[in-house]
């Protein structure tokens, strides 16, 4: 099987970027996790200034973005949400300082799976963390049959904060409209800077 030149260039660029990042002293690592189809990639792309894509394409393993803010390099790892990818996700957790845990406010199942994601975090990250739960796709909230309310999401964030002994905040977002996307990233970065 022959791989095209673009794929080889992608691998080469990725290896170069990861090598360069390993030498940077002032960096922050954030992971985006949550079920498939909740909008993790769209949130990352929106924050990076890319346009929203209306078509869905599942993340295979992980994708990452790098952003320079003042004297800090931010790496954002967007991890695949399907259960089969758990073994791949484990390699991206070391060194994580912040977690953006995403659910779809129109999918009660994705909200209930937040505890499954918390268990995965507990298994793989032993250091102190800053966690934000993001209820995404609020632009579709009015059309939902059984949406997750902000009251439910805030309640869960406070329960988890008590259980985990670390900061757990909640924000509603829309990757489509950009609502609270920059706010979510700004707040988690500020909280990480404060704690580290």
Instruction: Count structural domains, the chain.
Output: 1
β-pairing, 167-172 vs 130-136, is parallel
Percentage of the chain lying above the pLDDT 70 cut: 82
What pLDDT does 41 receive?
93
Please report whether residue 10 resides in a domain.
Answer: no
Instruction: Kindly state whether residue 70 falls inside one of the protein's structural domains.
Output: yes
In-domain check, residue 179 = yes
DSSP states along 13-46: HHHHHHHHHHH-SSEEEEEEE-STTSSHHHHHHH
Give the model's pLDDT for residue 9: 63
Q: Is residue 89 included in any domain, yes or no?
A: yes
When pLDDT is cut at 50, 70 and 90, the band that residue 52 belongs to is: low
Lowest mean pLDDT among 17-26, 30-39, 148-157: 17-26
Residue ranges making up the domain that contains 120:
26-195
| Residue 118, domain member (yes or no) | yes
Give the CATH number of the domain where residue 183 resides.
Answer: 3.40.50.300
**Tell me, what's the pLDDT at 196?**
74
- Confidence check: pLDDT of 137 > 90: yes
Is 99 part of any domain?
yes
Q: Which residues pair with 130 in a beta bridge?
A: 98, 167
According to the model, what pLDDT value does residue 1 have? 36
- Please, which pLDDT band fits residue 126 given cuts at 50, 70 and 90? confident
pLDDT at res. 3: 42
Tell whether the model's pLDDT for residue 48 goes beyond 70. Answer: yes
Is 72 a domain residue?
Answer: yes
Asked which of 37-41, 49-53, 165-169 is least confident by mean pLDDT, the reply is 49-53
Structural domain includes residue 76: yes
Confidence of residue 10 (pLDDT cuts 50, 70, 90): low
- What is the chain's mean pLDDT, rounded? 87
Using the predicted structure, report yes or no on whether residue 78 has a pLDDT greater than 60: yes
72 token code pair:
């800090």
HEC assignment per residue over 37-70: CCCHHHHHHHHCCCCCCCCCCCCCCEEEEEEEEC
Res 60: pLDDT = 66
């Amino acid at each position: 099987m022959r791989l095209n030149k673009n794929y080889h260039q992608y691998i080469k660029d990725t290896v170069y970027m990861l090598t360069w990042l390993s030498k940077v002293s002032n960096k922050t690592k954030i992971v985006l996790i949550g079920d498939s189809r909740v909008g993790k990639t769209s949130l990352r792309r929106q924050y990076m200034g890319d346009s929203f894509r209306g078509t869905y394409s599942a993340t295979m393993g992980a994708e990452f973005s790098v952003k320079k803010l003042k004297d800090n390099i931010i790496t954002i790892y967007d991890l695949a949400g399907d259960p089969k990818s758990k073994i791949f996700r484990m390699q991206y957790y070391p060194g994580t300082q912040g977690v953006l845990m995403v659910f779809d406010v129109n999918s009660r199942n994705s909200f209930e799976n937040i505890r499954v994601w918390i268990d995965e975090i507990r298994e793989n990250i032993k250091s102190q963390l800053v966690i934000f739960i993001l209820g995404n796709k609020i632009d579709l909230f009015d059309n939902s049959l059984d949406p997750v309310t902000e009251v439910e999401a805030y309640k869960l964030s406070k329960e988890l904060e008590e259980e985990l002994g670390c900061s757990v905040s909640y924000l509603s977002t829309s990757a489509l409209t950009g609502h609270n996307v920059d706010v979510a990233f700004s707040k988690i970065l500020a909280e990480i800077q404060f704690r580290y």
